[in-house]
Structure 1
Amino acid sequence: MMKCKAGRQMSESMVLAVFLTLAGGFQDAYSYNCRGKVFANAQTGNIVLLGQNLAQGNYGTALHYLMPLAAFIGGVYVTEWVHHLYKEHQKIHWRQIVLLVEVVLLVIVGLLPHSMDVLANVLMSFACAMQVNSFRKFRGIPCATTMCIGNMRSATEMLCRYHITKDKELRRKSLHYYFVILVFAVGAAVGAVMSIHIGLRVIWIAAALLFVGFVLMFIKEDIGKRS
């Protein structure tokens, strides 16, 4: 199950990467613009802000950033259990279970008022961790769909190595990374504009993108062959 004709898992197809990366960029823009300027996906920023507020004695504000970090750790932990318990399941791929949980969490986030922004960020960080821990490579290339710094480093490394060696495979990998970065930026841009104009429930668009990804993973051949 979940294999394309070329033997590559559907969970590693580029078309799936596009939907997951759009959702990843969208979520980061939403959490920043609608949920108290916290990055649900970019935990490095939260660590910096946590340390800064602890140093300044702003312990209440520090907790505001600590909770998404704890949720991210919890999301990775739970994902490993999902993988362990359902990796041999025949009717549904364990990664589809992860996507369904993400969709449910984001739907709940859209229902939460501003007075529950901390909980909303916790749920989004948990969902992000599940995604980044479950979908680690596409077309056989390690790649993240919820953050860009690793992709930027890899893209530039591959580009430089291509210029040195003239190996076209390195150029292909570099373009792969830059394309994913571009898709993330598009998702973030759309998420920022729509968050400002629509408000809290706009996160359901990200949930819809993830649900499309869930459905795509049922397609074994046609899209997989093109990926």
Structure 2
Amino acid sequence: MTKLRAKGQMSESMALAVFLTLAGGFQDAYSYNCRGKVFANAQTGNIVLLGQNLAQGNLGAALRYLVPLAAFLLGVYVTEWVRHLCRNNEKIHWRQIVLLAECILMVIVGFLPQAFNMEANAMMSFACAMQVNSFRKFRGIPCATTMCIGNMRSAMELLCRYHITRDRQLMKKSMHYFLVIFIFAVGAAGGALAGIWLREPAIWAAAGLLTVGVVLMFIREGTEDF
């Protein structure tokens, strides 16, 4: 048998998914506990809180949630431009550029005091959008690293289909989703504790996790047997 080196990046590897998901959970808990009860990733929650404050006439509080929502939308838009402009770059993959940008934003956020919470949340939401728009599949399975609702739905759908068909591949895919959900929860726990103990600089831990992701993406996929 001949060993051939796979040419693809590790953008769909489970190892990368672990670090991105840990960072995703960490950012959400950090932003909520340390940056004024705003979600970095869970934009649905921000929309609910935005609507609630608008209904109560709290325009200043509503702005706290509108800014990260706008930043998230901008992050998706910018990511598509990065993909378009760098799609033929042979020296660095466009997803590596996205992760590097995320790391830089997280480092900057760690230096911002509480008076700049709105700016910090905007940067984190922007970074989250870049991540969720760039990394959509792992091991060929659609999966999110910055939120859980879609993963929860997919996990239970596949589990039910396994019980109906007894197809073990469906069970494996379901367990894949449950694992990602668990990893997100671990990251969230870490973000909550670090935010309480270390305050603003705690987000540098998420930057470290993303940096590991950058390094992993410079590693080619393993060998394949033919």
TM interval, shorter chain, is: over 0.9
CA-based RMSD of the aligned residues comes to 1.4
1:186 aligns with 2:216: no
**Residue correspondence of structure 1 range 117-156 to structure 2 within 5 A:** 117-156=117-156
Aligned to 2:62: 62
Give the equivalent residue in structure 2 for 1:161: 161
Instruction: Name structure 2 gaps, 5 residues minimum.
Output: none
Instruction: Indicate whether 1:90 and 2:114 are aligned.
Output: no
Q: Structure 1 stretches of 5 or more lacking a match?
A: none
CA contact (8 A) 2:28 2:188 kept: yes
> Equivalent residue of 1:10, what SS?
coil
Give, in whole Å, the separation in 2 of the partners of 1:85 and 1:7: 21
Q: Deviations over 1:145-176 (max 9, x none)?
A: 00000000000000000000001111011000
Q: How many Å separate the matches in 1 of 2:114 and 2:90?
A: 41
Under a length normalisation based on structure 2, what TM-score does the superposition of the two structures give?
0.95
Aligned to 1:100: 100
CA distance in 2, matches of 1:85, 1:41: 26
SS across alignment from 2:11: helix
- What residue in structure 1 maps to residue 41 of structure 2? 41
2:23 maps to a residue whose letter is A
C-alpha deviation, 1:88, in angstroms: 1.0
Provide TM-score, normalisation by structure 1. Answer: 0.95
Equivalent pair of 1:8/1:139 in contact (CA under 8 Å)? no
Identity across the alignment (%) = 73
Question: Is contact 1:26-1:206 (8 Å) kept?
Answer: yes
- How do 1:63-78 and structure 2 match up within 5 A? 63-78=63-78
Match of 1:198 in 2: 198
Question: Aligned pair in 2 of structure 1 residues 157, 5: CA closer, same or farther (>3 Å)?
Answer: farther
CA deviation digits over 1:61-93, x for unaligned, max 9?
111100000000000000000000001110111
Deviation at 1:9, TM superposition (A): 4.2
**Aligned-partner Cα distance in 2 for 1:151–1:5:** 31
Give the aligned residue type for 1:155.
Answer: A
Tell me the equivalent position of 1:213: 213
